[in-house]
Amino acid sequence: MRKTLFAWIGAISTVGFFACQQNVKRETASRPNIVMILCDDLGYGDVGFNGATDIRTPVLDQLAAGGVRFSSAYVPHPFCGPSRAGMMTGRYPHTIGAQFNLPPNTARLDEGITREEVFISKVLQASGYHTGIVGKWHLGAAASYHPNQRGFDEFYGFLGGGHKYFPEEYLSKYDEQHGSGDGAVWDYLRPLEYNGHEVRDTAYLTDALSHQAVDFISRAAQLDNPFFLYLAYNAPHVPLEAKAEDLALFAEIENPDRRTYAAMVYAVDRGVEEVVNALKAAGEYDNTLIVFLSDNGGNTDHGANNGALREGKGSTYEGGYRVPMFWHWPNQIQAHEACEYTVSALDFYPTFAALAEAEIPSGKLLDGQNVWPAVVGQEDFRAEAPLYVMRHRDGYSDVGVRQGQWKAVKAHQQSWQLFDVNQDIGERKDLRQQHPAQLSAMVDSAEKWSETHVQPLWFHSQETADRWHVDGMPRFEETFQSSIGQ
């Protein structure tokens, strides 16, 4: 049986929301607990509340049905590390040098997001919240970039970009390599940790993280102040590894990758049920804001399904960074139909700070907005304000701009394209010839945004770094050529 954390320590009437929400509660409540649940590489179409039929997610679906389900939700980047950097800092990752994933075995490298950037966890901690992260970090493994140095009272999980799921496998391999004196053991094999101390949890990884989230909630609920829990599941990121009992529930899925992927998502749903039950048992459910999303689009090469969206993880088409998302808070939000107006994970920072009545440091730059006034029906907050995304490749960059109904895209060294994503979510009908002025204005806007970017502070491999410099990147003069002809 797995020890509890303490035992282990001992051993060592309203206006419609976004024109569609009519039932937001107005009563004043105490500062909410905030539980942000993040999946890794979860596809837009891989939850029931977004139309999945072969993957069952009953708990997530029930929460989504009882809160705000966003059908046009975005993250700051189409792959993992930069996306998480954006969520934690409230900044586009390109503006802080975080355009690439950190390289493996970062604990041996002094690399991470500059300490001048104050994370949302630090802001909440300073306002009296008890803060914890359970799961994946991937924002710096060296001591100065550790979660405990970025505003988290508690960290239980792993520091790298991914992990294997079965401890009987990864721990034995770790012991073999570590015992041989190899200090550069692959991140995916390292034991989990609690606040810098090794933990040998014997549970399947998703279950271990769910159990720890429950433990954190149970203890934090005994404190006088509210809590912030960032529950960052590794699932359904590769390697595709699922428990036999979960796999048995999806025997009807013939494709083995899809079947394993489905079982991994179901394990997350099962864990979220444990979290919900813990909140209810502690009497904290009604005053807890639960935010659920994925860090980027699904990896369609490894079992994911992004529904009607074009492409997937890594892409500046919708499938790369438009993600499943809902907010649930019984004290403040009642059930309603899905809302189609755009929301970004960049908005979390100012919104969470406002709900927590927390002070954002003077001079802190933010690229998102406090969207809570819109949630209570006071305004259509984003209207025509654009959302940007950029992914650097070898010698060129892909770009996406979402503005109202419009989406401008430059991808794979092709010409700029324009889509009406309200009518064409799959980005199939290019309208650039019909609306050249609209496209030109959006490209000009993205070019101006690119002027705020800085050179990357790190690259995920030496080969990528070498190519960046040899190719003279970022070469924006090529990216933002004529919006019609190039």
Mean pLDDT of 453-482: 94
Q: Whole-prediction pTM value?
A: 0.94
Confidence at residue 109, expressed as pLDDT on a 0 to 100 scale: 73
What are the phi and psi torsion angles at 229 (to 5°)?
A: -120, 125
Compute CA distances 157 → 164, 182, 195, 448, whole Å: 12, 22, 9, 39
On the question of pLDDT at 10 being above 60, the answer is no
Q: Is 267 exposed, middle or buried (0-12, 13-18, 19+ CB in 10 A)?
A: buried
Q: Look at residue 380 in the predicted model and tell me its pLDDT.
A: 67
Question: What's the mean per-residue pLDDT of the chain?
Answer: 91
Q: 18-375 and 387-479 share one CATH topology?
A: no
Q: Give the pLDDT of residue 28.
A: 39
* CATH code of the domain occupying 18-375: 3.40.720.10
Interatomic CA distance for residues 486 and 484, integer angstroms: 6
Residues ≥6 apart with Cβ < 8 Å to 10: none
Per-domain residue ranges for the chain? 18-375, 387-479
What are the tens digits of pLDDT across the range 205-261? 999 999 999 999 999 999 999 999 999 999 999 999 999 999 999 999 999 999 999
* pLDDT band with cut points at 50, 70 and 90 for residue 106: low
Please report the pLDDT score of residue 234 as a whole number: 98
Q: Between 429 and 483, name the one with better pLDDT.
A: 429
Q: How far is 125 from 132, CA to CA, in rounded Å?
A: 10
- What is the token pair recorded at 339? 């809302």
What would the DSSP string read from start to end of 440-483? HHHHHHHHHHHTT----S--SSHHHHHHHHHTTTT-HHHHTS-T
Percent of the chain with pLDDT over 90: 84
pLDDT at 482: 59
- Of the chain, the percentage scoring pLDDT greater than 70 comes to 91
Topology annotation, domain 387-479: Arylsulfatase, C-terminal domain (3.30.1120)
Q: Say yes or no to pLDDT of 20 above 90.
A: no
Res 180: pLDDT: 81
Checking if the pLDDT of 486 tops 80, the result is: no
Q: Tell me the catalytic residues.
A: 80, 138
Mean of pLDDT values over 338-346: 90
Average pLDDT of span 7-16:
34
